[in-house]
Amino acid sequence: MVDSDRMRELLHAEDSETRRLIAALSSDIKDLSAAREGDNSDDEHDPEGATLAFERSQADTLLRQSEERLSAIAQALQRLDDGSFGICTNCGKPIPEVRLEIRPYAPTCVACAS
């Protein structure tokens, strides 16, 4: 039996953490874009330009993952409300509590996630 109060708590903590990360990443990306625009040198032959582009693409990836997590968290909270939380959305078996402790927003059991 899943402790839904505790799961709700974990999800809310994860939610604010993820929102903080998204805010930080968004401002990083803005800074990186500004740094690139202010750079008049030839991109192709400028190692700094390449580094900025690399950092920018890493930040973009992280941002996308964080946004996906945020929506997974919202869906998990929804499942807490409708009583389907802790049930694998793919095979319908219970998700082990140890998994939910680590990833309270996981929609599937380990077998279905892989």
Binding residues for Zn ion (CB under 5 A): 88, 90-91, 108-109, 112
Q: Can you give the C-alpha Rg of the chain in angstroms?
A: 19
- Residue placing its CB nearer to Zn ion in the complex, 52 or 109: 109
Minimum distance, C-beta of residue 79 to Zn ion, in the bound complex (Å) = 14
Name the minimum Å distance from CB 92 to Zn ion.
7
Contact 59/29 with Cβ under 8 angstroms?
Answer: yes
Which phi and psi angles does 84 have, rounded to 5°?
-100, 5
Shortest Å distance, C-beta 103 to Zn ion: 14
86 φψ region: left (φ > 0), alpha (ψ -120 to 50), beta (else): left
Residue closer to Zn ion (CB basis): 40 or 114: 114
Which C-beta is closer to Zn ion: that of 32 or that of 109?
109
* 3-class SS of residue 87: strand
